[in-house]
Amino acid sequence: MTQAFFRRFLIAALFATGLSACAATSPSASLSSSSTETTMTKPDSPLRNTYWKLVTLNGKPVTTADRQREAHIVFSSQDNRISGSSGCNRMIGGFEDNADQLTFKGLGGTRMACQHGMELESQFMQTLLKVARYRIHGEHMDLLDTQGAIVAGFDAVALQ
């Protein structure tokens, strides 16, 4: 066999295989598989090593002022430490988690004064101390107090 003959044979075989695969898929089968994909939910983001952007605090949406850091938390993947921003200042601290239980401890941070966001920062830090549990659904995490009320909501942003 020559190389040209083999190439033509391989192309014809691949083409025939592709056609038979297309013929085996009916329009209704393709429609049902695409509708299944749209109803599937995204897997839950992991608590650790995810950039959790604060989106609600005590039932109110959180906005970030121009030229200001967005409030966020990152739970360390290697130890029980957190880092992030409270909106104006960098923050660090510790946490304990067990199943869906979550508590923060030893929270601290830098002490810069910001033109905007100081009230949000104060509320955010106080709210973290009230957290008793967390719940992750897809790319969203809620922090709950001891009564089960949502005190803060976060959206996941993948770390690079």
Backbone φ, ψ for residue 34 (5° rounding): -70, -35
Entry field: residues in the chain: 160
**Cα(106)–Cα(4) distance, rounded to whole angstroms?**
73
Q: What is the largest CA-CA distance in the chain?
A: 80
Question: How many Cα atoms within 13 Å fall on the side-chain side of residue 130?
Answer: 18
**Cα(28)–Cα(42) distance, rounded to whole angstroms?**
24
Q: What is the pLDDT along the chain (160 residues), one digit of tens a residue?
A: 555 544 454 455 444 444 444 444 333 443 444 444 445 677 899 999 999 999 999 999 999 888 788 999 999 999 999 999 999 899 999 999 999 999 999 999 998 988 887 888 999 999 999 999 999 999 999 999 999 999 999 999 966 5
For residue 125, count other CB atoms closer than 10 A to its CB.
19
Q: Are 131 and 118 contacting, i.e. CB atoms less than 8 angstroms apart? A: no
